[in-house]
């Protein structure tokens, strides 16, 4: 598939993930994941952490388990994982062990990210040292429709989104400097009258 076609597929699948996250309800954070083989959706999920009262039920983990059941195998070789937020370290290790070929995400997670913070997704040493466990590093494409995901989080809960942004948990615009203290105060003030 040529680059333009691949980018179009990436955007279409990311929009599907964004829509899925928006439909997850108020109890769960709007994380969502879609797993495809070529252009066929194999599995999709939102977070189930609060619903299942299990901190390991991240959208990526749930979707990978569904995909393995659908495909009837442990390996997700040849699959692309689309997720609205950069996979955390736990999810990144599971992605490597599942041998996912490509990872496409929107928002970066400079505090918890398994790509930008911990470099698990790009680390060739994992597969060199333990090839029977970890697959080769997947191709990674960050920042796909990041502004759309940001708008979705804001629509889900403006207060929570403002706090997440203030704390620097997610990097919305790669390369942009963090907001100044004054800007942060204004952000909180817009959500909390009298703050």
| 63 close to 33: Cβ distance less than 8 angstroms | yes
- Of the residues 60, 86, 132, 150, only one is catalytic, namely 60
- Outline where DSSP puts E strands in 142-185: none
The answer to whether the CB of 44 falls within 8 A of the CB of 61 is: no
Residue among 79, 77, 83 nearest 62 (CA): 83
Nearest Cα to Cα of residue 149 among 56, 34, 16: 16
- Give the separation between CA 108 and CA 173, rounded to whole angstroms: 9
H or E stretch covering 139? strand 139-141
Is 60 a catalytic site residue?
A: yes
Q: 162 and 190 in contact (C-beta within 8 Å)?
A: yes
Contact 110, 118 (CB under 8 A): no
Q: What separation in angstroms does the CA of 159 have from each of 156, 163, 168, 192?
A: 9, 6, 14, 8
Q: Which residues are catalytic?
A: 60
């Amino acid at each position: 598939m040529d680059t333009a076609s691949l980018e179009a597929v990436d955007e279409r699948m990311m929009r599907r993930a964004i829509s899925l996250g928006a439909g997850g309800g108020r109890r769960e954070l709007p994380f969502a994941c879609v797993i495809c083989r070529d252009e066929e959706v194999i599995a999709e999920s939102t977070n189930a952490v609060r619903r299942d009262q299990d901190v390991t039920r991240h959208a990526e983990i749930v979707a990978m388990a569904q995909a393995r059941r659908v495909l009837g195998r442990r390996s997700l070789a040849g699959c692309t994982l689309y997720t609205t937020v950069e996979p955390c370290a736990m999810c990144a290790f599971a992605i490597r062990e599942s041998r996912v070929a490509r990872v496409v995400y929107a928002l970066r997670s400079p505090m918890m990210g398994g790509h930008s913070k911990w470099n698990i997704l790009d680390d060739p040493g994992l597969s060199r040292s333990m090839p029977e466990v970890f697959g080769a590093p997947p191709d990674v494409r960050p920042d796909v429709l990041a502004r759309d995901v940001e708008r979705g989080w804001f629509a889900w809960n403006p207060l929570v989104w403002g706090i997440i942004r203030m704390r620097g948990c997610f990097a919305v615009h790669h390369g942009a400097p963090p907001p100044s203290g004054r800007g942060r105060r204004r952000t909180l003030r817009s959500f909390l009258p009298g703050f």
